[in-house]
Amino acid sequence: MFALHGRYPLDTPALIKQASEYFDRNWREFFPENRREYAVNVQNAAAKAGVDTGEMIQKYASVEFSPDLGELIERRKRLVPEAIVPLEKVASFIGETTVEEFAEVLHDLDRKFGLESAYHKGGIGDYMHDVLAAPEPEMTKEATWQYEIGRKTYTQKDLARALSHPAIISQYGEANVKEFKNPSVFDSLPTEDKEIILEHSL
């Protein structure tokens, strides 16, 4: 079994874990439809092998609707007012169809109204990202998370403080900032971005 198009074999627990860690670091480099395929394959292999997976794998493999989907559709309406009517119609089907079917229709609208250019930088994520539910955070991991820059050690509280700073919200967008509160997602960011964010914890 492979994670994606004959690449990234999933033959052993070690390879499954490696594939999961790779995705957590590099998921933004995948096309949205490939993120879904990769994550589902890794999650299925992990379930059979009894291996834990990363949070981005779990999100993109989810079969549940994100509780934030309604708000993310509202943001699309604010970005493109002429899309209000079709987006309202689509929103009425939240929970009434499969996540894949819903995401496909949302993608068609995003493409039609030019919203793909706003993915992960205009307050919305890609169509798969916004439709799918994120896993529940691991509280123990959040409580012990630390990040070092020079001689300074930052904690989960420092990260939360930095991510509530208006300058960071303005620079990265509310949807992305919400993701960054998850230590696994924050750790996958480029070092430059991590340093910029944590500088605002003071």
Together in a domain, 153 and 194: yes
pLDDT in tens, 46-78: 888 888 899 999 999 999 999 999 999 999 999
Q: Report the chain's terminal Cα–Cα distance, integer Å.
A: 47
The three-state secondary structure class of 7 is strand
Together in a domain, 83 and 102: yes
What global pTM score does this model have?
0.64
pLDDT in tens, 121-159: 878 999 999 999 988 765 444 457 888 888 788 888 888
Domain carrying residue 168:
139-201
Contact 11, 51 (CB under 8 A): no
How many whole angstroms separate alpha carbon 65 and alpha carbon 27? Answer: 19
Residue 173's region, left for phi above 0, alpha for psi from -120 to 50, else beta, is left
Together in a domain, 118 and 146: no
Residue with tokens 């993608």: 107
Together in a domain, 168 and 119: no
How many whole angstroms separate alpha carbon 161 and alpha carbon 166? Answer: 10
Query: Is the model's pLDDT at 84 over the cut of 90?
Result: yes
